[in-house]
Amino acid sequence: MLSWTCPAPLRDRPRVVMGHGGGGALSAELVEQVLLPAFGGREPAALTDSATVELGGARLAFSTDSFVVRPLFFPGGSIGDLAVNGTVNDLAMSGARPAVLSCGLILEEGVELDTVARVARALGAAARAAGVRVVTGDTKVVEAGHGDGVYVNTSGIGLIPAGVDLRPERVVPGDVVVVSGAVGAHGVAIMSERENLRFEVGIESDCAPLGGLVEAMLAVTPDLHVLRDPTRGGLAAALNEIAAGSGTGVVVQERAVPVPPPVAAACAMLGLDPMYVANEGKLVAFVPREHADAVLAAMRAHPRGAEAAIVGEVVADHPGMVVARTGLGGTRVVDLPLGEQLPRIC
Amino acid sequence: MLSWTCPAPLRDRPRVVMGHGGGGALSAELVEQVLLPAFGGREPAALTDSATVELGGARLAFSTDSFVVRPLFFPGGSIGDLAVNGTVNDLAMSGARPAVLSCGLILEEGVELDTVARVARALGAAARAAGVRVVTGDTKVVEAGHGDGVYVNTSGIGLIPAGVDLRPERVVPGDVVVVSGAVGAHGVAIMSERENLRFEVGIESDCAPLGGLVEAMLAVTPDLHVLRDPTRGGLAAALNEIAAGSGTGVVVQERAVPVPPPVAAACAMLGLDPMYVANEGKLVAFVPREHADAVLAAMRAHPRGAEAAIVGEVVADHPGMVVARTGLGGTRVVDLPLGEQLPRIC
């Protein structure tokens, strides 16, 4: 059902392909085989979206993301919203309370200043909504034909509360897998805008900050095991990363994964699997079984988690592998995507 | 003597021009009139290269920079070196000890993976030389024709020691202006490589980390008033920013500003003023008069400050303005550059 933009043999080619930016296996190869050895580190933190740093007695989360989404404005958001929520959510997935952001712009010569202003206003509004301050920035300009209007990098710092320790290594068989809501909307919204598709029911990006939801979950117990926001590569990539990082197996009940009917219909038409479509306002949590009901209740009581659902569990079998039980009672392997279904999704 | 890439009337045009990325008056206008109002803040920190953030009891410096230099490799360095030293130096100018970096890559489809690896290795080596760790990263890919090989964003965090408080507002008449070494090499090295010019004496970029030099200066006294690295816009832009931020006047003895003879010769040939040419391994310090001799001695004892020199002083006259006393005994105003002499210098 998936149509990759880069078939497997590209892996051996000597040039960068779009899939190297897709958050799947090609991205992981680039990081593991090229970047990490060059940077001289083999810290697990460098593999994830956010690093934990001890500095001056404070335990900080530090994260960076560049945004190259096309188009700049789409149903439910813009590159400015993504730039805030993407980085804020990476910090929140460390259990941190996001505090400050930087904003680095790469503008293409000739782009209208009004467009830059619209992006900046969206970014400012999203920062206020997420409760973070943009405190430092940088702007570069490149010649026409060497950019695409506006690229945005945001980096962020958050403070990790005492007792919170979220990482795949803490996942154990028996953990319950919870998703905070319906998946697939962001990717379908971008694609429909780009391809000028119109569905009967408009589909908007779910782009939203998750700091408040994470705080509500940690108020139940600081002992959550891992959180991840399923962006590029979708829920499939997030679950695979956690399975690989924890050395456990993950079993997902396919029918339990909430997908809005318009998104499911659009995916069927476009040949996409909702499990692989990017989200920008959802999280997946691996929760100790004894806390699962209470955490789920806290999530459902929060506006960003009203549709939260238990979608699976962690098993000792098939370590590193994600398996879906299908609606018909069958089983299929949910692979790490190789490249990406939709380039420049964020 | 200056040849601007953007004449004044462009200021009123509705589109982004190269000069908006030049670190001069057009850059400042973009920040002050478009970005800061949109971000909803009017914090002075947002105007400078580095913000000071209090978090979990720690006093942090936080900085970001995107690098779009062309070509990627040049005499004396590469975009990887710049990406480390640019951000490390911004942190050091806050008096912070640089600790960690993020690395966000925007790769152009089709660029050779070997090129990416070379950039990454240079970045890793520069980080080790500067004593910082690259702890988190992100990679995006854009289609051919929407990038230029490799763009790099780095953001960084450093810890500001107790008692250090560097900002233009602390500058007072009587302060001594010290430059850490000869100016102009980086810009001329980039331009000569780009234009394929060959001078009798090869000119290499001065790209280098300044954290150690700043530590040596602060060991003399934590009571320095302000530090700035004169990158885009050169010494002229750095001095103008400090004059404007402090509401004082700055007088520079033109003959006291060290310029290597090959750089001076190249500038004369190219029609550039060394005062406006970018540096990537130099700083300018505003030092209370009573500490000036001791700070200068400490700088000269450090490898990165061997050619340090007193180049001027702060006066109560002409607040916000920088004036140069010329070799012939005359006086000229050293304006904030409008756009930039050399696009994509860093």
Read off the pLDDT of residues B192-233 as tens digits, 9 standing for 90 and up. Answer: 898 888 777 789 999 999 999 999 999 999 999 999 999 999
Check whether residue A79 and residue A212 sit in a common domain.
Answer: no
What's residue B202's pLDDT? Answer: 86
- B116 to chain A: closest CA residue: A34
Q: Does A112 touch chain B (CB under 8 A)?
A: yes
From chain B, the residues in CB contact with A30 under 8 A are 113, 116, 139
pLDDT at position B46 over 60: no
Q: How much of chain B exceeds pLDDT 90, in percent?
A: 83
From chain A, the residues in CB contact with B109 under 8 A are 15-18
Asked whether the beta carbons of residue B38 and residue A109 sit closer than 8 angstroms, the reply is no
Is A16 part of any domain?
A: no
Per-residue tokens: B116: 């990416």
What's residue A265's pLDDT? Answer: 94
pLDDT tens digits, one per residue of A238-294: 999 999 999 999 999 999 999 999 999 999 988 899 999 999 999 999 999 999 999
Cβ(B188)–Cβ(B203) under 8 Å? yes
What's residue B3's pLDDT? Answer: 36
For range B44-69, the mean pLDDT: 87
Task: Give the count of Cβ contacts less than 8 A between chain A and B.
Answer: 298
Check whether residue B147 and residue B222 sit in a common domain.
Answer: no
Task: Point out the least confidently predicted range of A36-50, A213-227, B139-153.
Answer: A36-50
Q: Is A106 left (phi over 0), alpha (psi -120 to 50) or beta?
A: beta
State the CATH number of the domain containing residue B97: 3.30.1330.10
What's residue A190's pLDDT? Answer: 93
From chain B, the residues in CB contact with A45 under 8 A are 135-136
Check whether residue B329 and residue B213 sit in a common domain.
Answer: yes
The number of domains in chain B is: 2
pLDDT at position A295 over 80: yes
Give A147-178 as a DSSP string.
S-SEEEEEEEEEEPPTT----GGG--TTPEEE
From chain B, the residues in CB contact with A148 under 8 A are 142, 146
Give residue B6's pLDDT band: very low, low, confident or very high (50, 70, 90).
Answer: very low
Asked whether the beta carbons of residue A66 and residue B110 sit closer than 8 angstroms, the reply is no
Which of A109, A116, A133 minimises the CB distance to B18? A109
Strands B50-55 and A97-108: unpaired
Check whether residue A79 and residue A217 sit in a common domain.
Answer: no
pLDDT tens digits, one per residue of A329-339: 899 999 988 87
Asked whether the beta carbons of residue A63 and residue B159 sit closer than 8 angstroms, the reply is no
pLDDT tens digits, one per residue of A190-225: 988 988 887 777 899 999 999 999 999 999 999 999
From chain A, the residues in CB contact with B144 under 8 A are none
Residue type, B100: V
What's residue A196's pLDDT? Answer: 83
Check whether residue A181 and residue A322 sit in a common domain.
Answer: yes
Domain that holds residue A292: 168-333
Asked whether the beta carbons of residue B99 and residue A53 sit closer than 8 angstroms, the reply is yes
Give residue A5's pLDDT band: very low, low, confident or very high (50, 70, 90).
Answer: very low
Give A32-74 as a DSSP string.
IIIIHHHHT---GGGGSSEEEEEETTEEEEEEEEEE--SSSEE
For range B176-199, the mean pLDDT: 92
Q: Which of A102, A108, A123, A159 to mutate to test the interface with B (most CBs of B within 10 A)?
A: A102
- A120 to chain B: closest CA residue: B38
Is B196 part of any domain?
A: yes
What's residue B282's pLDDT? Answer: 98
pLDDT at position B309 over 50: yes
> Which A residues in the span 8-27 are in contact with B, Cβ-Cβ below 8 Å?
14-22, 27
CA distance B142 to A195: 18
Asked whether the beta carbons of residue A128 and residue B100 sit closer than 8 angstroms, the reply is no
Check whether residue B202 and residue B307 sit in a common domain.
Answer: yes
Check whether residue B220 and residue B104 sit in a common domain.
Answer: no
Cβ(B4)–Cβ(B342) under 8 Å? no
pLDDT at position A12 over 70: no
Residue A135 host element (H or E): strand A133-142
Q: Which of B12, B15, B128 to mutate to test the interface with A (most CBs of A within 10 A)?
A: B15
State the CATH number of the domain containing residue B327: 3.90.650.10
Which of A15, A146, A148 minimises the CB distance to B113? A15
Distance from B80 to chain A by nearest Cα, in Å? Answer: 11
Is A7 part of any domain?
A: no
Check whether residue A107 and residue A205 sit in a common domain.
Answer: no
Domain boundary at B142, B159, B176, which? Answer: B159
Q: How much of chain B exceeds pLDDT 70, in percent?
A: 94
What's residue B11's pLDDT? Answer: 55
Task: Point out the least confidently predicted range of A65-74, A193-202, B321-330.
Answer: A193-202
Average pLDDT value over all residues in chain A: 92
Asked whether the beta carbons of residue B57 and residue A56 sit closer than 8 angstroms, the reply is yes
Domain boundary at A109, A138, A159, which? Answer: A159
pLDDT tens digits, one per residue of A106-149: 999 999 999 999 999 999 999 999 999 999 999 999 999 999 99
Residue A259, classed as helix, strand or coil, is coil
pLDDT tens digits, one per residue of A219-235: 999 999 999 999 999 99
Is A206 part of any domain?
A: yes
Is B38 part of any domain?
A: no
Check whether residue B215 and residue B89 sit in a common domain.
Answer: no
- B106 to chain A: closest CA residue: A66
pLDDT at position A10 over 70: no
- Higher-confidence position of B285 and A45: B285
Q: Does B75 touch chain A (CB under 8 A)?
A: no
pLDDT at position B329 over 90: no
Check whether residue A177 and residue A114 sit in a common domain.
Answer: no
**Residue among A307, A335, A325, A318 at smallest CA distance from A239:** A335
pLDDT tens digits, one per residue of A149-163: 999 999 999 999 999
What's residue B41's pLDDT? Answer: 66
What number is the ipTM of this complex? Answer: 0.94
From chain B, the residues in CB contact with A14 under 8 A are 112-114
Is B36 part of any domain?
A: no
From chain B, the residues in CB contact with A34 under 8 A are 113, 116-117, 120
What's residue B43's pLDDT? Answer: 59
Give residue A43's pLDDT band: very low, low, confident or very high (50, 70, 90).
Answer: low
- Higher-confidence position of A152 and A29: A152
Asked whether the beta carbons of residue A124 and residue B38 sit closer than 8 angstroms, the reply is yes
Domain boundary at A110, A133, A159, which? Answer: A159
Check whether residue B268 and residue B186 sit in a common domain.
Answer: yes
Instruction: Say whether the peptide bond before residue A303 is cis (omega within 30 degrees of 0).
Output: no
CA distance B44 to B61: 14
- B160 to chain A: closest CA residue: A56
Give B103-169 as a DSSP string.
EEEEEETT-BHHHHHHHHHHHHHHHHHHT-EEEEEEEEEE-TTSS-SEEEEEEEEEEPPTT----GG
Cβ(B58)–Cβ(A159) under 8 Å? no
Give residue B56's pLDDT band: very low, low, confident or very high (50, 70, 90).
Answer: very high
Give residue B341's pLDDT band: very low, low, confident or very high (50, 70, 90).
Answer: confident
What's residue A290's pLDDT? Answer: 98
Is B197 part of any domain?
A: yes
Distance from B325 to chain A by nearest Cα, in Å? Answer: 32
Q: Does A47 touch chain B (CB under 8 A)?
A: no
Q: Does A111 touch chain B (CB under 8 A)?
A: yes
Which of B107, B135, B147 minimises the CB distance to A62? B135
- B139 to chain A: closest CA residue: A21
Task: Point out the least confidently predicted range of A179-193, B125-139, B326-340.
Answer: B326-340
Is B5 part of any domain?
A: no
Check whether residue A179 and residue A146 sit in a common domain.
Answer: no
Asked whether the beta carbons of residue B49 and residue A110 sit closer than 8 angstroms, the reply is no
CA distance B98 to B108: 30
What's residue A195's pLDDT? Answer: 83
Cβ(A62)–Cβ(A157) under 8 Å? yes
What's residue A7's pLDDT? Answer: 41
What's residue A220's pLDDT? Answer: 98
What's residue B54's pLDDT? Answer: 96
- A27 to chain B: closest CA residue: B139
- A157 forms bridges with which residues in the sheet? A62, A100
Q: Does A151 touch chain B (CB under 8 A)?
A: yes
What's residue A9's pLDDT? Answer: 42
